[in-house]
Amino acid sequence: MSKSEMYVAALEENGLFETPGHRTRFKELMDCYGDYPFFSKGLCKCMYLSAWDEEHFAIILQILSDLAIGRERNTQEMRIQGDALARDASEQTGRDGDYYVYQLSNAFLDNQEFIMPKDVKLSLEYEYIMKRALEAERVIDKV
């Protein structure tokens, strides 16, 4: 079983794909970029999170394409872009959820624990997305 198949199977076994589209987008990212030198468990976690919807999938797909073309060996450039996306989201009204999604992605890339500030009130949708991504993190770490 390939590394890509192992991650997909582990997430499936734990019921972590929300929709068939979520699974398909994640699998596409894994199939395309799972063997690049910049691939890591942190990136795998970002892939899971970004595969949640078409908008975030398109963003990570563009970033990963750029990394592949540049023959990058790590995700440092992706981390820089994550900071810029978080900054942009924080400046736009109603984009607080996206800000914390990008912060979570950066924590994944940095292999750091993500701690949500206690005074933050996210919509139920974003709370759920963040909760599921943290569950997926535990599963991915075991693969």
> Residue 60's pLDDT is what?
94
Q: What is the DSSP letter of 53?
A: S
Which sequence spans correspond to the domains of the chain?
Answer: 3-142
Calculate what percentage of the chain has a pLDDT beyond 70: 99
pTM here is 0.91
Contact 83, 106 (CB under 8 A): yes
Q: Report, in angstroms and rounded to the nearest whole number, the Rg of the chain calculated over CA atoms.
A: 14
Mean per-residue pLDDT, 25-31: 96
Q: Kindly report, residue by residue over 61-117, the tens digit of the pLDDT.
A: 999 998 998 878 888 888 888 888 888 888 876 677 899 999 999 999 999 999 988
